């Protein structure tokens, strides 16, 4: 599989101008426009009056959403499509609440040019997990939605222990832990995350009705103790936040917390040697550049080296049918 080559100027311009569509949708979402239209047909002037926005500008935004297929218009009245009603109205079971995180990402991605010049994020502020409560809530919601589509597939692909303890490091909502318990209800899962994330974890645990099967442990995964005697330690979407040196320490801490014969599993983008494939990983490396001090996506060789150095054997990459990449190893 080779890297795609762009040969059509029109295709290039379509890619360049993709930000326009994105910004239209994000602005409508940010304004709560889809919520306002839930179950009714309204003129753009009435929407503007109640949202406190400019009438002409609101009308043009809503016309653009019709053109994009997210609203419908009849006799100068606008209403949600069935798709928008299902996915873009808060309170719907399928509501895509994680889009709020994309609103935040818009601001950091706008700093890409100075970030490339500086070699690191130029966004002023604290670490990625030390931001506002609203930012943290939308981030965890985005990770949960992504995880819903991955967790059952990952759980089915792994050789899960039949009993004992498992640890989900940086587990956020606990969505992967929930799936592991679904497959092995004899297990007890511990979700480890930052003190300002764990309260959100408790909400998801309660909503899932898994209080007797999943508990939490608060701390910094680079500093605080994980405990001992876990049969499986799972690290999903965290090594890309860290520097290589931090990942060496993190994986070693994980191995130290495993029982002999226990398994450590890393889910992340696993890059080829020249870092151009998979394409999603190459693009995600830019997300880490603009948003973190020294995050990156890493190659199979790099991750294997860290795992073997920490004392894991039988280290291998595993790719699920949908393309999820896992690195697994067994404690000697």
Q: Where are the domains of the chain?
A: 9-89, 113-331
Can you tell me whether residue 110 is helix, strand or coil?
coil
Say how far apart CA 76 and CA 95 lie, in whole Å: 27
Can you tell me whether residue 240 is helix, strand or coil?
helix
Question: What burial letters (b/e) apply to 150-166, b meaning 16+ CB within 10 Å?
Answer: bbbebbebbebbeeebb
Neighbours of 228 (CB within 10 A): 10
pLDDT at 254 over 60: yes
Q: What is the pLDDT of residues 54-108, one digit of tens each?
A: 999 999 999 999 999 999 999 999 999 999 999 999 999 999 888 888 888 998 9
Fold of 9-89: Arc Repressor Mutant, subunit A (1.10.10)
Say how far apart CA 174 and CA 228 lie, in whole Å: 20
Q: What is the pLDDT of residues 182-215, one digit of tens each?
A: 999 999 999 999 999 999 999 999 999 999 999 9
Of the candidates 263, 169, 180, the residue with the CA atom closest to the CA atom of residue 216: 169
Sign of the alpha-carbon torsion through 222, 224, 229, 235: negative
pLDDT band for position 129 (cuts 50, 70, 90): low
pLDDT of residue 7: 85
The number of residues making up the chain comes to 332
pLDDT band for position 2 (cuts 50, 70, 90): low
pTM score of the predicted model? 0.87
Q: What is the pLDDT of residues 132-185, one digit of tens each?
A: 788 788 888 888 888 888 999 999 999 999 999 999 999 999 999 999 999 999
pLDDT at 279 over 60: yes
Longest Cα pair distance anywhere in the chain, in angstroms? Answer: 71
For residue 331, CA distances in Å to 52, 248, 263, 310 come to 60, 15, 6, 9
What are the phi and psi torsion angles at 221 (to 5°)? -65, -15
Of the candidates 232, 235, 247, the residue with the CA atom closest to the CA atom of residue 299: 247
Q: Pick the residue with more confidence: 245 or 93?
A: 245
Superfamily of domain 113-331: Vaccinia Virus protein VP39 (3.40.50.150)
């Amino acid at each position: 599989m080779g890297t795609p080559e762009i040969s059509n100027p029109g295709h290039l311009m379509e890619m360049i101008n993709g930000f326009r569509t994105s910004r239209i949708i994000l602005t409508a979402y940010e304004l709560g426009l889809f919520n306002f239209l839930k179950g009714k047909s309204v003129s753009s002037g009435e929407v503007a009056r109640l949202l406190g926005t400019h009438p002409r500008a609101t009308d043009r935004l809503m016309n653009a959403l019709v053109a994009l297929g997210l609203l419908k218009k009849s006799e100068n009245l606008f209403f949600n499509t069935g798709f928008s009603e299902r996915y873009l109205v808060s309170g719907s079971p399928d509501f895509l609440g994680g889009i709020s995180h994309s609103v935040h990402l818009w601001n950091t991605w706008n700093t890409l040019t100075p970030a490339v010049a500086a070699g690191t994020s130029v966004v002023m502020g604290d670490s990625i997990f030390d931001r506002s409560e609203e930012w943290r809530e939308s981030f965890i919601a985005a990770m949960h939605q992504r995880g819903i589509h991955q967790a059952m597939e990952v759980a089915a692909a792994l050789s899960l222990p039949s009993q004992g303890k498992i640890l989900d490091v940086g587990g956020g909502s606990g969505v992967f832990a929930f799936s592991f318990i679904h497959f092995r209800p004899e297990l007890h899962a511990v979700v480890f995350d930052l003190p300002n994330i764990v309260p959100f974890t408790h909400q998801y645990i309660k909503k899932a009705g898994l209080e007797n099967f999943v508990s939490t442990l608060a701390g910094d995964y680079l500093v605080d103790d994980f405990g001992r005697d876990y049969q499986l330690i799972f690290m999903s979407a965290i090594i890309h936040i860290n520097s290589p040196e931090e990942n060496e320490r993190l994986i070693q801490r994980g191995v130290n917390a495993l029982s002999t014969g226990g398994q450590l599993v890393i889910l992340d983008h696993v890059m080829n040697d020249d870092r151009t494939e998979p394409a999603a990983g190459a693009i995600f490396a830019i997300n880490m550049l603009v948003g973190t001090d020294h995050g990156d996506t890493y190659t199979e060789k790099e991750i294997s080296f860290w795992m073997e150095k920490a004392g894991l054997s039988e280290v291998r990459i595993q790719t699920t049918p949908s393309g999820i990449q896992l690195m697994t190893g067994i404690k000697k």
